[in-house]
Amino acid sequence: MFLDITIDYYKITFALIFILVFVVAYYVILGSRFENLFKQGKIWQIRIGQILLAFVIAYLITQGLMLILPTF
């Protein structure tokens, strides 16, 4: 058909879990003493580090959950 739309539930689930885990990881990193790893006054480097770390953590956790998810 010409309007044959398929829904990829795997990608939708991955995106939703990733966003949720990213937000949780970012707030956990904000609550930690991550900024002590940087010199005083390096604000934008601290923010970039927090976002990148939250992104990596969220990606790894989401990949792990997606490996477990099809077994249920």
CA atoms within 13 A on the CB side of 60: 7
Q: Where are the domains of the chain?
A: 23-71
What pLDDT shows up at residue 4?
A: 73
Where does residue 10 rank: exposed (0-12), middle (13-18), buried (19+ CB within 10 A)? exposed
DSSP 7: -
What pLDDT shows up at residue 18?
A: 97
pTM for this one?
0.81
Which tens digit of pLDDT belongs to each residue from 40-66? 888 888 889 899 999 999 999 999 999
Which tens digit of pLDDT belongs to each residue from 15-40? 999 999 999 999 999 999 888 878 88
